[in-house]
Amino acid sequence: MIDLNTKYLGLTLKNPLVVSANPLCEKIANIRKMEDSGASAVVLHSLFEEQLTLETEHLHRYITGSDNSYPEALDYFPDMNKYNSGPDRYLEHIRKAKESVDIPIIASLNGVSDSGWIDFAKNIEDAGADGLELNIYDIPVNPMISSLGLEHGYREMVSHVCRTITIPVAVKLHPYFTALANLASNLDLAGAKALVLFNRFYQPDFDIVTRNVVPHLELSTSQELLLRLHWAAILFGNVRADIAITGGVHSATDVIKAMMAGARTVLLASALLKHGIGYLSNMHTEILVWMEENEYESIVQMQGSLSRISCGEPRAFERVNYMRVLSEYM
């Protein structure tokens, strides 16, 4: 019998199909359907740092004090009191999800600083979450902040959270770091049990008639998987933390590629938003069929088989691949 079990965040999962943080996770009925359709774990929709700090006098003054000066900015800023129902209801959502399903429930915090995170991380643990995903979403625009200083801050933040709670912590990264492998190693040393590759930056568009900045969202495609495969293959075997791939996973083939690159799990969002939660069942079946046809007995057997450490001369392989791509294009 084919074994789809995998390890992630110290948890034994029945297969590598994990639901990523997305709006579908806001309803308990959807989480039940995810479990029934084959999801091995669910990462809840993110709670934003701004929601945790909204009650502070400083942020209140910052927002209300700008009413007359920057009305456009205030229109763009969401109502964080209502978004995702707020911190208290988020904790209650964790409790209800844990009561409703048997698969692991992983909470998600989205932000860039220690502000409010440390205490609330403990609240998340007390609510029963099986793990916590820290979603670092930041575009550093201050020219006085160096890459070294920025990455040191991330490491310290992760270290603080990991020292505060006992449940495992995953860090969701973006790919735009000068030395991503070094940062991954430092986050590993700071206590992160998993690294999630990669966050997607949702770039705004411009309305040239109204001269407004317009939020713009496009769901991922399988083409985006290539960057994630590249870095998963590089990091596999070089960090202790588990590797998860999110973004660009839309088919059983994509899942298998991710496993061969070295991922322990894939985190799905766009595929479910496009095709519905029941699509998990289709992917599950297609993975089993492919593994049987190609004589794989387990997911673990294929994990890392196409990683960088599986190549005798990895640096040469990188250069040869680069040169072949350029020389063969006509």
How many domains are contained in the chain? 1
Residue 258 domain-assigned? Answer: yes
Tell me how many degrees the CA angle 305-308-309 measures, rounded to the nearest 5.
75
> Residue 47 corresponds to which amino acid?
L
We report the CATH number of the domain holding residue 93 as 3.20.20.70
Closest to 283 measured CA to CA, from 20, 33, 3, 37: 37
For the record, the structure tokens of 233 come out as 């293959």
Q: Which domain holds residue 85?
A: 6-328
Residue 1 domain-assigned? Answer: no
Closest to 308 measured CA to CA, from 233, 250, 249: 233
Q: Are 129 and 106 in contact (CB under 8 A)?
A: yes
In the beta sheet, which residues pair with residue 169?
A: 132
Predicted local distance difference test score (pLDDT) of residue 86: 78
Residue 28 domain-assigned? Answer: yes
The end-to-end CA distance of the chain, in Å, is 46
Per-residue pLDDT of the chain (330 residues; tens, 9 = 90+): 899 999 999 999 999 999 999 999 999 999 999 999 999 999 999 887 666 655 444 444 444 554 444 444 444 445 555 555 578 999 999 999 999 999 999 999 987 666 667 778 999 999 999 999 999 877 777 888 888 888 998 999 999 999 999 999 999 999 988 899 999 999 999 999 999 999 887 677 888 899 988 876 788 899 999 999 999 999 999 999 999 999 999 999 999 999 999 999 999 999 999 999 999 999 999 999 999 999 999 999 999 999 988 765 555 555 555 555 555 655
